[in-house]
Structure 1
Amino acid sequence: MRSVRANGIRISFDEAGSGAPLLLLHGFSLDRTMWDAQVEALARSYRLIVPDLRGLGATENPGVQISIEQMADDAAGLLMALDIPAAAVAGFSMGGYVLAQMAVRHPLKVRAAAFVCTRAGADNEEQQKARLANMRFIDDEGSEAFASKFVPMLFSSAYLASGAGGPGKHRRAIASQLPRNLCALLDAMRQREDMTPRLGEIRVPCAVVAGEKDQLVPVQAMRELHEGLADSAFDVIEGSGHMAPVEAPDRVSFALDQLMQRAGMWM
């Protein structure tokens, strides 16, 4: 793990491989290790940059509040600190919200975009209330209790029943996060911009990857994201829950590799 200063904070990240750069942005409450399978598969062909997002893992959050726009600026600042003019960027779930903002705020930094199990729309009233309820739960019960509540929503029932190690690994990651940062990130997602009207501004090659059994982002929401993009390939992974990079690592890695080739970023 390395760290650099960017956008006023110290960002921790892993780096592997060489070649065209691919920046991987993880989801809410998780850390960079959710991309481990993709790093292993793709580092033979590309330069992987895998940060912990602001307030999660080993990356600091010196403030009280966090915004999606701020995290997009963090990601662009990380590339700048590493002297990378532009990269392909993949964003999972909350990382997809960050990617959408990055693509419109820093268009010259994004050469290709992969949206994995995420959506373009803002929270509706019901979803906003659910965020507030989770903030209260974390305030009252802490990160470990939240991890036990949240992890079953991340995976398909079949994957949970399989005895695979992913749920336990990521439950521990969530349990280790600071409650105040989890609450700040929930509030950031609650207040995020509806990016649907701005998808047309994203002119680079895109991939949209959905999990058929995703409990948090339905396939229809991902289809709408795909349809709003000018140049997008759409893939639904049969049987996968929200954590497609963990449940179906080969399919997600293949989609990212195909995007890199479409964008002319193949070695």
Structure 2
Amino acid sequence: MVLLSASEAASCASEKGAVLLGDISVAFKRFGEGQPVIFVHGLAEDKESWSGVVARLPRGIRAHLLDLRGHGGSTVGEGNGTVSQLAGDLTAYLEEVTGPAACVGFSLGGVVALEAALQRPDLVRRAIVIGASSKVGRAAAGFFEARIQQAMSDIDGFRRALAEDTDAQVVCNRQDVAAIAARRIAAVGDGAGYVNAARAMVGLAAVSMTERLRDIRVPVHIIQGENDVFCPLKAAQIMRDAMPDAGYTNIPDAGHLIAADQPDLLARELSRLIIQKHGRSR
């Protein structure tokens, strides 16, 4: 992997590399040419989780796929286990590399995109959030806390549990579950990035961001998987109630890992949303 400065990353035609931002090296992959669009993956994922979707996007889009702090090829740095810090990593990339851009985030990545929109509305032109939730209930917080302890004390057991979690998040693409699980296990490596990001999710149980969503001043569109049991329809409805102007799309026959279950449908919807130039998505 080539390590670049922020200015070099902005001008280099290379499709894969890493850029130094603050205390971390952020790994990225780029596809296409045109207007920049940032893709932020979810917990226990990495930039490769978007590959099947961005390959289906139309011309005129420069897709930047980023690895979250401690995931994939990005270093964990001095992670403080907050959504605010993860959003700061995203806005640093926007500020130093691409300039203002639409941001697409899945699950935790969707929360990060929303927080980035709150922090820097001058940099986030549009937030498209997929399978995301603005709050974490007690049961979900307990789940994340258990996974954190497992990742810190029994990495092999944690990897087996992550494979089981993956199996429950795929509805249609059942033949590829093992490969998807293997990719996710590789994405979290020694587990430090997972622990940091999972702590950020636990933080949403203590302090929900739902009320703050009303302060977002950029267009938002919510995409939900019809059969998502990890982030159910209720989570999307809570965000819609907080942001009545937000657009909404339900993807049929999709579990939590929508990009794995329905890459064609997701790419089609993202294409429609990204090319919109004016007004809020509907």
Normalised TM-score (structure 2): 0.85
User: Is the aligned partner of 1:182 residue 2:194?
Assistant: yes
Structure 2 runs not aligned, ≥5 long: 1-15
Calculate the aligned-residue CA RMSD, in Å.
1.8
- Give the match for residue 44 of structure 2: 29
- Give the match for residue 237 of structure 1: 251
Task: Report the 3-state secondary structure (helix = DSSP H, G, I; strand = E; otherwise coil) of the residue aligned with 1:42.
Answer: coil
Counterparts in 2 of 1:140 and 1:8: CA distance versus 1, 3 Å: closer
User: Is the aligned partner of 1:201 residue 2:215?
Assistant: yes
Bigger mean CA offset, 37-46 vs 231-240 = 37-46
Q: Note if contact 1:112-1:259 (Cα within 8 Å) is conserved in structure 2.
A: no
Paired residues in the alignment total 258
Counterparts in 2 of 1:263 and 1:168: CA distance versus 1, 3 Å: farther
Question: After superposition, where does 1:91-240 map in structure 2 within 5 Å?
Answer: 91-121=105-135, 123-142=136-155, 143-156=158-171, 158-160=172-174, 163=175, 165=176, 167-176=177-186, 177=188, 178-192=190-204, 193-240=207-254
Name the % identity: 23
Counterparts in 2 of 1:7 and 1:148: CA distance versus 1, 3 Å: same
Counterparts in 2 of 1:129 and 1:21: CA distance versus 1, 3 Å: same
Q: State the Cα deviation string for residues 44-96 of structure 1 (Å, max 9, x = none).
A: 220101011100000001225332111101011112221x2200001100101
- Give the match for residue 263 of structure 2: 249
Q: Note if contact 1:16-1:47 (Cα within 8 Å) is conserved in structure 2.
A: yes
Give, in angstroms, the shift of residue 169 of structure 1: 2.9
The whole-number CA distance in structure 1 between the counterparts of 2:94 and 2:236 is 27
Task: Report the 3-state secondary structure (helix = DSSP H, G, I; strand = E; otherwise coil) of the residue aligned with 2:223.
Answer: strand
Corresponding residue to 2:80 among 59, 65, 70: 65
The whole-number CA distance in structure 2 between the counterparts of 1:231 and 1:87 is 20
The whole-number CA distance in structure 1 between the counterparts of 2:73 and 2:40 is 14
Q: State the Cα deviation string for residues 13-65 of structure 1 (Å, max 9, x = none).
A: 00111111110000001100111122212262201010111000000012253
Normalised TM-score (structure 1): 0.90
Task: Report the 3-state secondary structure (helix = DSSP H, G, I; strand = E; otherwise coil) of the residue aligned with 2:122.
Answer: helix
- Give the match for residue 272 of structure 2: 258
User: Which stretches of structure 1, 4 residues or more, deviate above 4 A after TM superposition?
Assistant: none
